Amino acid sequence: MSNTLLIIDDTKENIDILVDLLSLEYIILVALDGKKGLSLARQHKPDLILLDVMMPGMDGFEVCRALKSDFETEHIPVIFITALADVNDEAKGIRLGAVDYIRKPFNPMIVQSRVRSNITYKNYQNTLEREVQERTKKIEAVKDVIIKSMGMMAEFRDSETGEHIKRTQEYVKLIAEKLMALPNNPYRLTPDRIRSLYKSAPLHDIGKVAIPDAILLKPGPLTPKEYEIMKSHTEAGREAIEAIKRDLPSEAFLNDALDIVYCHHEKWDGSGYPLGLVGEEIPVSGRIMALADVYDALISKRIYKEAYSHARAKKIILEGKGYHFDPMIVDIFLELEDDFKEIASRCQ
């Protein structure tokens, strides 16, 4: 596949010369002024731009500055073509992000050589970037599988299936996306943060691996002493995530994982555990996970209870508004209840 060059020059004779020199090897786009050149660059994303410096209206320096300030075009290499011989002009162009200069009148061999070498380098960079992206995708996929597997260890011990993880992940994502869409985005959520929450959700009960079977699998009510032991799964989970963070300090999603693991049993009125946090003291990740986890627990069959209907689970969540749950997150749940039911039905 041929590479594409964009030539921006207000002199038609210069364009004709460059087209004659380069059209056998490359696809050529041309613009006779800076504004048109910027438009073509944004539309076609050429592999290289040959840019005249001295043009009326928007000169080459202005065009280069605009190209390098736009995330869609900042990666495109720019070679200035100029009759100027001032070293300061060359330095200015390099500071603006140009990769090379070609002087007028054109020396055909120099033009072809400079273009070819820069295109070769750009192609090499593109190949490396694709390889890095592919490797990164594979690494992320492996990490995601490991994370889900870690979460499922706790779920399997609790007589649950991996479907609980899938459902709660989807609930968390739904809630977070709806919160992000609120006016002024009061929860300060971003697409990257939502991906982090989605990735972290499977770990919410990882600490249950530390709870004895006699308590974890007990079919009846827990005694006060047993309940205290059960509550310690948040602390055990926190210690597990902190140990992972020490080995993987650059994994930002582990910050959300830590908050989810440690805080998803906190309650809006401060009556939850392990810290008794109140209202907005509870990390938003913990508040979202709390509702997602409780809803799924209510509609699922457990060793100590039968599955509740959606209507009954909804009633319990509404009763917990402002007491157990963040009121805004309950309101979001009500807006999304049909989506919750669809997820519950699909992930069984």
Domain ranges of the chain: 4-129, 158-346
pLDDT of residue 86 exceeding 90, the answer is: no
Query: Rounded to 5 degrees, what are φ and ψ at 228?
Result: -65, -40
Q: Is the pLDDT of residue 161 over 60?
A: no
Q: What is the mean pLDDT of residues 187-199?
A: 93
The reported pTM is: 0.63
Give 156's pLDDT tier (boundaries 50, 70, 90).
low
Confidence at residue 95, expressed as pLDDT on a 0 to 100 scale: 86
How far is residue 155 from each of residues 162, 164, 198, 244, measured CA to CA in Å? 7, 8, 17, 20
Given this model, what pLDDT does residue 348 score? 74
Give pLDDT, residue 97: 85
Q: Give yes or no for residue 160 having a pLDDT over 80.
A: no
Better-predicted residue by pLDDT, 301 or 36: 36
- SS3 of the chain: the string is CCCEEEEECCCHHHHHHHHHHHCCCCEEEEECCHHHHHHHHHHHCCCEEEEECCCCCCCHHHHHHHHHCCCCCCCCCEEEEECCCCHHHHHHHHHHCCCEEEECCCCHHHHHHHHHHHHHHHHHHHHHHHHHHHHHHHHHHHHHHHHHHHHHHHHHHCCCCHHHHHHHHHHHHHHHHHHHCCCCCCCCCCHHHHHHHHHHHHHCCHHHHHCCHHHHCCCCCCCHHHHHHHHCHHHHHHHHHHHHHHHCCCCCHHHHHHHHHHHCCCCCCCCCCCCCCCHHHCCHHHHHHHHHHHHHHHHCCECCECCCCHHHHHHHHHHCECCCECHHHHHHHHHCHHHHHHHHHHCC
Which long-range contacts (C-beta less than 8 Å, at least 24 apart) are formed by 14-20?
14/52, 14/81, 14/104, 14/106, 17/106, 18/50, 18/81, 18/106, 18/111
Residue 256 in contact with residue 196, Cβ under 8 Å? Answer: yes
Q: Hey, how many other C-beta atoms are within 10 angstroms of the C-beta on 157?
A: 15
- pLDDT value of residue 165: 84
Supply 44's token pair: 């076609």
pLDDT greater than 90 at residue 320 = yes
Task: Give bridge partners of residue 28 from the DSSP assignment.
Answer: 5
Average pLDDT over residues 48-60: 91
Question: Given a cut of 60, is residue 291 above it in pLDDT?
Answer: yes
Domain 4-129 falls in which CATH fold?
Rossmann fold (3.40.50)
d(CA 166, CA 155): 12
Residue 81 pLDDT: 87
Least reliable range by pLDDT among 96-100, 142-146, 171-175, 235-239: 142-146
In this predicted structure, the answer to whether residue 159 has a pLDDT above a threshold of 60 is no
- At residue 216, the pLDDT reads 86
CATH of 158-346, one of 3.50.50.60, 3.30.2130.10, 1.20.140.10, 1.10.3210.10: 1.10.3210.10
Amino acid at 348: Q
Contact predicate 314/298, CB 8 Å = no
Distances (CA, A) of 88 to 50, 62, 67, 276, 283: 19, 16, 21, 65, 54
Beta pairing, strands 78-82 & 27-31: unpaired
> Which pLDDT score, from 0 to 100, does residue 329 have?
98
> Other C-beta atoms within 10 Å of 333: how many?
24
Which has the closest alpha carbon to 321: 297, 298, 287, 284?
287
Most confident of 83-87, 96-100, 232-236: 232-236
pLDDT-derived band at 85 (thresholds 50, 70, 90) equals low
pLDDT of residue 220: 84
Closest CA to 28 of 39, 10, 38, 15: 15
